[in-house]
């Protein structure tokens, strides 16, 4: 797993300044925009993995999955 992944032309990373946020870049990492803020119920993001269909993320409170490029997340049970 990683703290940054590439999906097509978009990079998605765990924010280095706030590990409850994910950021995306469409210009090879020159600038970043927050694309998701997890809040305390999901904890801090630890690692990201793209399996081709969905993005998986480990957090301090469990495993999350996104099927829309990291814009929303749900717990994987």
Q: With a cut of 90, say whether residue 71 has pLDDT above it.
A: no
Model pLDDT for residues 8-61, shown as the tens digit of each residue: 999 999 999 999 999 999 999 999 999 999 888 889 999 999 998 999 999 999
Q: What is the number of other CB atoms lying within 10 angstroms of the CB of residue 9? A: 9
Confidence at residue 70, expressed as pLDDT on a 0 to 100 scale:
84
- What's the distance, CA 61 to chain centroid? 14
Q: Which two tokens stand for residue 17?
A: 């300044």
User: Is-contact 64 72, C-beta < 8 A?
Assistant: no
Confidence at residue 34, expressed as pLDDT on a 0 to 100 scale:
94
**In the β-sheet with 62-66, what is the strand arrangement from edge to edge?**
45-50, 55-59, 62-66, 74-75
Give how many domains the chain has, as a whole number. Answer: 1
- Tell me if 35 is assigned to some domain: yes
The pTM score is: 0.87
Confidence at residue 15, expressed as pLDDT on a 0 to 100 scale:
95
**Distance (Å, rounded) from C-alpha 33 to C-alpha 75?**
23
- Tell me if 77 is assigned to some domain: no
- Tell me if 75 is assigned to some domain: no
Residue range(s) defining the domain that contains residue 17: 4-70
């Amino acid at each position: 797993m990683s703290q940054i992944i590439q999906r097509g032309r978009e990079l998605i990373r765990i924010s280095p300044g706030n590990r409850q946020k994910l950021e995306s870049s469409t210009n090879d990492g020159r600038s970043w925009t927050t694309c998701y803020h997890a809040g305390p119920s999901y904890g801090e993001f630890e690692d990201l993995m793209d399996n081709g269909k969905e993005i998986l993320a480990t957090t301090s409170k469990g495993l999350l999955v996104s099927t829309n490029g990291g814009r929303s997340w749900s717990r994987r049970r």
